């Protein structure tokens, strides 16, 4: 999200076994720089996919240990505080413009040698993360009162077919499923974990069917509801919307969230 919004990101981490504290500063100016995922190895991807939590309290115990993979960091409290202190130093240097620029650099301190090394951060062209920086555009009315077609036009994509829409943190559900089995037409946006009412036959809640849910949603999927207000499509609480076509994306934030209408 920092890349999408063009906001700087500063990340601090430790490697306890080698007494290393590390601070990486990502500028995210235009999406062409590095991101945290650019340097991921297969081991790190495996930890991400397993939702591994590196625990500072030692080896996991009890029932909670069986719910999610945990590994001790093998770190010490002073190393963690050192990483936090170095991160604050980098923030102050960046904000106050002190010394050499800190953005798109990695600062490493090694407790064994008391040496500090600064090296550049470079984008990995094979990075699996989306590096698109979204353009900002004003929204004339609250997001739920507008239609998807209006957003496409405001973004300059009028007439384009290869569009996709992302409405807040909501999923567009074509079909739902309940205890009866099969699929029930929904064609609406649904918040994560929410259901869209109960089935009149079995009384069970109707949830979006994963195989027929989209986030973001292609224009071709919502072609029949392009001219309906988002409020009528279940997105009455939406606060932002993004429209994407190829390598260009435009972000709309409603006037009630600080963006003035055009």
The 10s digit of each residue's pLDDT in 120-140 is 999 999 999 989 999 999 888
How far apart are the C-alpha atoms of 262 and 252, rounded to whole Å? 12
Rg (Cα) of the chain, in Å, rounded? Answer: 23
Residue 258 predicted with pLDDT over 60: no
Is 147:158 a contact under the CB 8 Å cutoff?
no
Q: Could you tell me which residues come within 8 angstroms of residue 198 by beta carbon, excluding any fewer than 6 positions away?
A: 178, 204, 205, 206
The pLDDT value recorded for residue 60 is: 55
Alpha helices in 68-147 (DSSP H): 77-96
Closest CA to 255 of 137, 168, 115: 137
Q: What is the pLDDT of residues 69-92, one digit of tens each?
A: 667 777 888 999 999 999 999 999
The pLDDT value recorded for residue 262 is: 35
Q: What is the pLDDT of residues 2-43, one digit of tens each?
A: 998 899 999 999 998 899 999 999 999 988 999 999 999 999
User: Residue 62: pLDDT band by 50, 70, 90 thresholds?
Assistant: low
Q: Is 188 exposed, middle or buried (0-12, 13-18, 19+ CB in 10 A)?
A: buried
Please give the structure tokens belonging to residue 252. 């709309």
Q: What is the pLDDT of residues 44-59, one digit of tens each?
A: 999 888 888 877 665 5
The pLDDT value recorded for residue 61 is: 59
47-51, 161-165, 243-247: range with lowest mean pLDDT: 47-51
Residue 108 predicted with pLDDT over 60: yes
Residue written as tokens 């698109």? 132
Please give the structure tokens belonging to residue 9. 């990101």
String of DSSP letters for 185-248: EEEEEEETT----B-TTT-PBPEE-GGGEESSEETTTTGGGTTSBGGGGT-TT--EEEEEETTE
119 or 203, greater pLDDT:
119
C-beta atoms surrounding 38 within 10 Å: 19
Q: Model pTM?
A: 0.73
Residue 63 predicted with pLDDT over 70: no
The pLDDT value recorded for residue 260 is: 45
* pLDDT, averaged across the chain: 89
The pLDDT value recorded for residue 11 is: 96
Calculate mean pLDDT across residues 141-170: 94
């Amino acid at each position: 999200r920092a890349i999408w919004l063009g906001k700087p990101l500063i990340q601090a981490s430790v490697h306890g076994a080698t007494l290393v504290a590390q601070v990486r500063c990502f500028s995210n100016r235009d999406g062409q720089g590095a991101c945290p995922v650019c340097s991921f190895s297969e081991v790190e991807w495996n930890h991400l996919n397993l939702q591994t939590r590196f625990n500072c309290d030692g080896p996991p115990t009890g029932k909670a240990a069986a719910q999610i993979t945990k590994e001790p960091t093998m770190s010490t409290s002073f190393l963690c505080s050192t990483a936090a202190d170095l991160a604050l130093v980098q923030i102050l240097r960046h904000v106050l413009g002190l010394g050499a620029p800190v953005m798109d650099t990695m600062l490493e301190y090694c407790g064994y040698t008391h040496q500090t090394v600064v090296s550049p951060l470079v984008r990995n062209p094979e990075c699996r993360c989306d590096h698109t920086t979204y353009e900002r555009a004003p929204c004339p009315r609250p997001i739920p009162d507008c239609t998807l077609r209006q957003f496409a036009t405001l973004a300059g994509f009028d007439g384009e077919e290869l569009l996709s829409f992302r409405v807040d943190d909501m999923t567009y559900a074509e079909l739902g499923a309940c205890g009866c089995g099969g699929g029930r037409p929904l064609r609406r946006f649904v918040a994560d974990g929410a259901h869209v009412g109960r089935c009149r036959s079995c009384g069970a809640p109707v949830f979006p069917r994963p195989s027929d849910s989209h986030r973001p949603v292609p224009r071709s999927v919502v072609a029949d509801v392009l001219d309906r207000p988002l409020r009528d499509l279940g997105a009455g609480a939406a606060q932002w919307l993004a429209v994407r076509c190829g390598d260009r994306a435009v972000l709309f934030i409603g006037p009630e969230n600080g963006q003035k209408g055009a």
